Structure 1
Amino acid sequence: MSSAKDSFSPEMIRIFKIFGLGSLLFVLLLSFFNEKRANNSGEEKPMMRITDADRLFFKNLRALHYDLEGRDDAKINIYRHGKRTKDASIPHLNLSILINRVKDEAYIFVEPQPDELPLQLQWKNLLSGEEGELSFYGGDTFAHFEFVSKLNFLLDENIQFKMAVGDSWEPVLTEMEVIKTTIKDYYRLTNNPN
């Protein structure tokens, strides 16, 4: 019976060595040019992915409460709550849910009236007297999500909101249920635990 060393010729052993060493060098070289880094900061970006089950739940049960605008050019469906403020003559703040049909993602967008940026909101807790400001400068989907997340923590029947319109401050969000419902539906659609 021949040994394992006899079964490989010297040329074959040299090819194995070259292939093994070449593979290791190739992997090492690729590791230096890897631009994607692990996120170890502890701050996760919000999940905007939606599953088929969540999409079906939204379309069959929740979408009935929304007006649908289909944007075939962008392959996006825009859902605006049917009970939102529609009068363009009074300042208001609406939210819309955008579903990207190609990427299976959903986004939440801020739609102020007037639509001038930056959007400045003042809030005051009528019970504790605590007050503050919330600003929105526009931006990408993450900026909209971040603003809505901050706004969500302030939505309470004891909080009064005012929006900067020109040089004056006008009351907004007097009907918070529409905003709360839209945020809740978005979080349910994207499986966000908020």
Structure 2
Amino acid sequence: MAKKSNDTFSPEMKRILKIFGIGSLVFVLIMSFFNERRANNSGKEESPMRISDADRLYFKNVRAPYYDIENRKDAKMTIYRYGKRAKTEEVVSVGLSILLNRVKDEAYIFVESTSGEFPIKIRWTNLEDKSKNGELVFEGGDKYSHLAFVEEFYPLILENTLLELWHEDRYIPILEGEVGKDALRITINDYNKLINNSINLNGTPQDR
């Protein structure tokens, strides 16, 4: 009987495959942004995500240096991820990125799962008033779906809130320190300024 081949991977190879898999998933999700409602070609409807030259220049010259930048020529986009976010692959959490569409002169905010898992299920409890609690579920979708989730999620990261993410059949705490929450708050605030305050947000995080 032939000896069974050893098909196990080394820890380093598993890490590389994991990063490649999550990167591929992120690209597919980005492309799904545009599998959406038909655009109005009449020229009468102004996109709420359209950015002016002045706002783009401000973001690129003043805010972009605080971000890690990824150019995706295949999608004709530039992706900005806040530089002080938690970057360790072993940390399971929720992240945000800003996407600049070079073709349409638009900017989008994009919800990322560091584990690559969707849907994203977050259970939350206000630690100052535990009667205030609930759950957010994000299935993914187009740019409007991502924006709607961010608008709902933003107030929770401003408050003293316990956030737990559903991962591998259980809830685990996420964003327990200020670093993780700051990365999300600042990204949302920068995006809000980039699209000229089209999002109605409560509170103003510091720019740092």
When normalised by structure 1's length, the TM-score is: 0.74
- Which residue identity lines up with residue 119 of structure 2 in the other structure? P
Cα deviation 1:112-163 (Å, max 9, x = unaligned): 1211111000111001111100010011111111111100122224111000
Letter in 2 for 1:139: G
2:151 and 2:199 in contact (8 A); partners too: no
Read off the aligned partner of 2:194 and give its amino acid letter. L
SS of aligned partner of 1:155 = helix
Q: State the secondary structure of the residue aligned to 2:124.
A: strand
SS at match of 1:167: coil
Tell me if 1:117 matches 2:118: yes
Which residue of structure 1 aligns with residue 188 of structure 2?
183
Match of 1:80 in 2: 81
Structure 1 residues 77 and 114, CA gap change in structure 2 (3 angstroms)? same
Q: Distance in 1 between matches of 2:59 and 2:102?
A: 14
Deviation >3 Å, runs of 4+: none
Give the AA of the match of 2:138. Answer: F
Kindly name which structure, 1 or 2, has the bigger radius of gyration based on alpha carbons.
1
Give the direction of change, closer, same or farther, for the CA distance of 1:193–1:169 in structure 2 (3 Å limit). closer
Contact residue 98 and residue 110 of structure 2 kept, 8 A:
yes
Moved more, 155-164 or 90-99: 155-164
Greater mean deviation of Cα atoms: 51-60 or 79-88: 79-88
1:8-37 deviation digits (Å, cap 9, x = unpaired):
xxxxxxxxxxxxxxxxxxxxxxxxxxxx7x
| Structure 2 residue 162 is matched with structure 1 residue 160 | yes
Check whether the contact 1:46–1:142 (CA below 8 A) recurs between aligned residues.
no
**Number of equivalent positions:** 152
Aligned-residue identity in percent: 47
Alpha carbons 1:97, 1:186 under 8 Å: kept? yes
Unmatched 5+ stretches in structure 2: 1-39, 41-45, 201-208
- Contact 2:124/2:135 (<8 A) preserved: yes
